[in-house]
Amino acid sequence: MTGVERVRSGSPWEDVFGFSRAVAAGDRVVVGGTTSFKGTVLYGEGDPYEQAKVAFGTALEAIAEFGLGPEAVIRTRMLLTHARDVDAVGRAHQEVFGDVRPVTTLMVVEGFVDPRVLVEVELEAYRGASS
């Protein structure tokens, strides 16, 4: 595909499942479901706030490959396994995006492939204004 750029994060599942951490097409940059795994190590086990911070950090590292920062983020999605974690994950989101204020969706899901994962995030950024 012409004009489509991809970023890999080094996740061991990228090759197994055939995906990229982030894809840019035109002015749109999307980052797929991101957890607090870095390689095979889960950061923040048992701590939804820490997992959210690490996951958002990894997602922001992906858009940085396109020269973008948090200010370019226009949408976030947060998936949690427990409603009790809404405040902790919301606090992490506010710390990262409080001044940006992207549209957001927060969902409670039944679970993830690895039951230690409490949070998964996605984001979408717009690079038209900065390119």
Distance CA 11, CA 62 (A): 12
pLDDT at 13: 66
Distance CA 7, CA 10 (A): 9
- The beta strands (E) that lie in 4-102 are given as 4-7, 22-25, 28-34, 37-38, 41-42, 73-80
Average pLDDT over residues 74-96: 98
pLDDT at 49: 98
Percent of the chain with pLDDT over 90: 78
Please provide residue 41's backbone torsions phi and psi, each rounded to the nearest 5 degrees: -100, 125
Quick one: tokens of 123? Answer: 């984001």
| pLDDT of 129 over the 60 cut | no
Distance CA 126, CA 131 (A): 10
| pLDDT of 89 over the 60 cut | yes
| pLDDT of 81 over the 60 cut | yes
Confidence tier at 74 by pLDDT (50, 70, 90)? very high
- The beta strands (E) that lie in 9-51 are given as 22-25, 28-34, 37-38, 41-42
- Find where tokens 């590292």 sit: 61
Q: Which amino acid is at 70?
A: P
For residue 41, list its beta bridge partners: 38
Which residues have a Cβ under 8 Å from the Cβ of 17 and sit 6 or more positions away? none
Percent of the chain with pLDDT over 70: 92
Residue-wise pLDDT tens digits, 5-62: 888 777 766 667 777 789 999 999 999 999 999 888 999 999 999 999 999 999 999 9
Across the chain, what does the average pLDDT equal? Answer: 92
